[in-house]
Structure 1
Amino acid sequence: MKTRQGKGQHSPRGLRIATLAVAIAAAGGTAHATDVFRLEGFGAISRGMGGVATAHDVGAAGMMTNPATLSLMPADNTAQIGLDLVTTDIDVTNRSTGEHVHSGDHSQNRGPYYAPQAALTRRVGQWTFGLGAFAQGGLGTEYGRSSFLSRATGGIDTGLENSSRLLVLNIPLAASFRASEALTIGGSVDAVWQGLNLNLLLGADQVGSLIGASRVSGSLLPVLGGLPDLRGAHFSLTRNSPLASGVNAWGYTGRIGMTYALTPATRLGAAYTTRSRMSDMEGRATLTAIDGVAGQIPLGGKIRIRDFQMPAVVNLGVSHRVNDQLTLAADVSRVFWSSVMKDIKVGFVADAGGDLNILLPQNYKDQTILAMGAAWQMDSRWTLRGGLRLAQQALSSSTLFAVIPATPRKHVSVGVGYALSPSSTVDFAWSHAFQENMNNVSLPNTSAPIRVSHAQDNGTLVYSYRF
């Protein structure tokens, strides 16, 4: 499976394939994350092995976890293109009435979720360079307009949507250096784009709870309070399209990493990804006040989601080749959610004048994740993979939103790789997130006591071409 054409040589066909792949991935779709807002592994090799990637060669996708693993790739140059497809099974139950709603494909906005990926790597002497485009993660729900989630205080059916879609896309530029036969070191700088669609109804009791906790301010607050019979407020910042987002922003992040071979069969790895530095997400939105006397009063304006960041991550890993066929690997990760997801900060400025600022509490906890995987090379063409991933719960039940149910934390995965030729390989992985249940009976993030059940399946297909 290892092919070399000599250092510095490359195939024009391969370059054309890689260029096309990066362009396709940069125009990508949506993904639903399983480690809160983060996908549980990048590329089919890592995904099939439970997400391990810190001390094991997982191909070009290794630049998303530990760029130092790029030096472990056998070929001088590699281009890859792939696709994730995620199907979710999310139900929300009103524990007071027994009503429930299933998140499904109610519009063009969400689900099922897909995320193209692409990458190109090239070796120059002891250096290996990489450029890629990968969905880091996201979330998505679609509850429609007619469930109890669209009912304002006092039982008023609003006919307004409750839904969400977040996509985070990373474009890493990576480099890895083989310092010795045992040591590789690497780093990357990533351009990051994120886009958010959101439709959210808050009942009058939720609005009152936020006001009582000093989480609402602005000149529109007295206007809402002056309505004769306020029953709720609805935010809509959505572009009903497979790709476009209601608000979006650009920023950057970076990572460093290393691997060290203790023996020819055992390698250790470590990597650190910095907290992202994103601009505020901005776009157009409609704030609709629901009043029992005046009806629905929509206000168009500009909206800003302030300081919405992805967390820093520390990864430690080990990979051990038991024999020529079997390799075992494990990663331990610490994800620092508490420093970036205390509140969702919303700022709205109406076209007609006036503003409203809201802090929606989240209070995520830092998360420790254990990933374990195995790869069995059956022969020169076939490789089988399997993995398990266990994570601590980052979300707090008291601040759970039905439209942000990023709760799964237990995953099992299987994968297969097939060498089409000495220079090309197809890898497939399937991972299952076991159902996780969480209750919230607390204002302000829910009015009715709710129970959210969330499970999902993720299929990943990747084609790699070595030249």
Structure 2
Amino acid sequence: MSRLPRPCLLAVAAAAAALHADAWAVNGAQPGGIGIKNASMGGASIALPLDATAAANNPAGLAFVPSSATFGLQLFRGHSSAEYVLPGNNLDNRQTQPVPEGGINRQLDGGIAVGLSVSGAGAGSDYGQPALPVAGAGEAKTSLRVAEFVPALAYAPRPDLAVGLGLTLAWQQFEADGVIVPAPVPGGLMPLPGHGRQSATGIGVRAGLLWKPAENWTLGATARSRVRMSSLDGYERDLLAYSDGHLDVPAQYGVGVAWQATPRLTLAADWLRILWGEIEAMRDPNGFAWRNQPVLRLGAAWSLDDRWTLRAGISRNDRQIDSSRAVQNLLVPSIHDRAYSVGLSWRSGERSEINLGYELNPRTTLEGTGASAGTSLTSKVQMFLLGYHHNF
């Protein structure tokens, strides 16, 4: 490994770090964008491959990215609070978590490109106290971490068209404590036992298409299958009994467009649909009950000169949590439905580039209705983005 070029070592380091870092996100349990440059443009990426993380956004994008390596870090800072079930029962949660990502790709002969992208996702909270004054209840907290490794291959039969195929190799870690459920006695409550931190693995497939119908336009489409994860030991007996302990990674599909409006201005848009509602764990009538989630991502990049580029974007989604499920989603308060991002890229040398960005998910409140009346969840999330890109 010591003989690998330095950018390769950075990509390997990103892969290793993803196995050990918490990963918190804003589109349900997914990040707003993968790749620092794309994330700074609202996540728009399906038709706009910008670096070696392209395989995670659209495998076909590898055909349009030069041989290179990328390392990025998205630093999550979140503050959520809840007024939970009882008047005056206020809970507070603050999280700061690093989310590493990276990738490496190589252009081969015959219009073939290969690459590996690494990204993280997840959700969680730690309120530091029991959710309700129930005997035996532990501190209310949960942690879901998912690292995705995406080896992929792209083929461009002609300069304006590429197709791509890849695998999703997922590693998952899950822990929950302080979960309180109705007791067999009418009107009673009881805590579920904790099962500690458990791991699972799974595999899925993904595919993509990129087409340039005109010199300044690019159209893209991508889809990935559900990743069927192995069972999380212990949780199949209670919290995840409905899905036999499985917490799968959802399927998703989307389309995108990118327009080179002027030599210095690029505009991009994605429409993505994440199929949370198709996961068995989300079909539990007493569980989280997340719905399928459409996401709209818009971004712009303006090159000031040959070295400096400004980026900005906005992302909107239909919240995957219904207001009647606020009580069940205390431990995963992923309630944001919009995000704003800005970024800056500096070409520090002929082959190297440093990327900075910031994403704000403004303070948002979900007021419970129906069975969740009297419960409200509030959250604000900031993401600080830092990345390095190197062309071979």
TM-score above 0.5, yes or no: yes
After superposition, the C-alpha distances for 1:254-308 in whole angstroms (9 at most, x for unaligned) are 2100111111101100011111121112258999xxxxxxxxxxxxxx9x96231
Contact 1:342/1:364 (8 A) holds in 2: no
Judging changes above 3 Å, is the alpha-carbon distance between structure 1 residues 12 and 230 closer, same or farther for their aligned structure 2 residues?
A: closer
Which residue of the other structure, out of 306, 315, 319, is the alignment partner of 2:245? 306
Which residue of structure 1 aligns with residue 102 of structure 2? Answer: 118
Judging changes above 3 Å, is the alpha-carbon distance between structure 1 residues 231 and 276 closer, same or farther for their aligned structure 2 residues?
A: closer
CA-CA distance at 1:96 after TM superposition = 4.5
Are 1:30 and 2:43 counterparts? no
Are 1:419 and 2:347 counterparts? yes
- In structure 1, the residue corresponding to 2:39 is in which secondary structure? helix
Distance of 1:162 and 1:12 partners within structure 2: 45
CA-CA distance at 1:159 after TM superposition = 6.2
CA-CA distance at 1:315 after TM superposition = 1.0
Q: Which amino acid aligns with 1:134?
A: S
CA-CA distance at 1:57 after TM superposition = 1.9
Which residue of structure 2 aligns with residue 89 of structure 1? Answer: 79
Which residue of structure 2 aligns with residue 220 of structure 1? Answer: none
Which residue of structure 2 aligns with residue 233 of structure 1? Answer: 191
Which residue of structure 2 aligns with residue 13 of structure 1? Answer: 5
After superposition, the C-alpha distances for 1:56-80 in whole angstroms (9 at most, x for unaligned) are 122111211201111111x3x2112
| Ranges in structure 1 where 5+ consecutive residues have no aligned partner | 1-10, 105-110, 209-224, 239-245, 288-301, 346-358
Distance of 1:398 and 1:192 partners within structure 2: 31
Which residue of structure 1 aligns with residue 206 of structure 2? Answer: 255
Which residue of structure 1 aligns with residue 216 of structure 2? Answer: 265
TM-score w.r.t. the length of structure 2 is: 0.91
Contact 1:43/1:460 (8 A) holds in 2: no
Judging changes above 3 Å, is the alpha-carbon distance between structure 1 residues 414 and 341 closer, same or farther for their aligned structure 2 residues?
A: farther
- In structure 1, the residue corresponding to 2:23 is in which secondary structure? coil
Are 1:143 and 2:119 counterparts? no
Contact 1:266/1:318 (8 A) holds in 2: yes
Judging changes above 3 Å, is the alpha-carbon distance between structure 1 residues 130 and 391 closer, same or farther for their aligned structure 2 residues?
A: same
| RMSD (CA atoms) | 2.6
CA-CA distance at 1:232 after TM superposition = 1.5
Which residue of the other structure, out of 314, 318, 326, is the alignment partner of 2:265? 326
| Ranges in structure 2 where 5+ consecutive residues have no aligned partner | none
CA-CA distance at 1:22 after TM superposition = 4.3
Are 1:461 and 2:386 counterparts? yes
Are 1:207 and 2:183 counterparts? yes
- In structure 1, the residue corresponding to 2:347 is in which secondary structure? strand
Contact 2:44/2:298 (8 A) holds in 1: yes
Contact 2:79/2:379 (8 A) holds in 1: yes
CA-CA distance at 1:112 after TM superposition = 0.9
CA-CA distance at 1:17 after TM superposition = 2.3
Distance of 1:68 and 1:232 partners within structure 2: 50
Which residue of structure 2 aligns with residue 221 of structure 1? Answer: none
Judging changes above 3 Å, is the alpha-carbon distance between structure 1 residues 436 and 26 closer, same or farther for their aligned structure 2 residues?
A: closer
Distance of 2:21 and 2:38 partners within structure 1: 21
Which residue of the other structure, out of 405, 415, 421, is the alignment partner of 2:333? 405
Q: Which amino acid aligns with 2:117?
A: G
Which residue of structure 1 aligns with residue 367 of structure 2? Answer: 439
- In structure 2, the residue corresponding to 1:151 is in which secondary structure? coil
After superposition, the C-alpha distances for 1:187-244 in whole angstroms (9 at most, x for unaligned) are 11121011111113315xx234xxxxxxxxxxxxxxxx6xxx9652233233xxxxxx
Are 1:60 and 2:52 counterparts? yes
Distance of 2:325 and 2:267 partners within structure 1: 38
The ranges of structure 1 where at least 4 consecutive aligned residues each deviate by more than 6 angstroms after the TM superposition are 284-287
Deviates most, 58-67 or 406-415: 58-67
Equivalences, count: 385
- In structure 1, the residue corresponding to 2:192 is in which secondary structure? strand
After superposition, the C-alpha distances for 1:370-403 in whole angstroms (9 at most, x for unaligned) are 1100000111111110001010111122223211
Which residue of the other structure, out of 90, 98, 107, is the alignment partner of 2:88? 98
- In structure 2, the residue corresponding to 1:361 is in which secondary structure? coil
Contact 1:129/1:175 (8 A) holds in 2: yes
CA-CA distance at 1:27 after TM superposition = 3.1
Distance of 2:11 and 2:24 partners within structure 1: 26
Distance of 1:322 and 1:272 partners within structure 2: 27
Q: Which amino acid aligns with 1:314?
A: Y
- In structure 1, the residue corresponding to 2:250 is in which secondary structure? coil
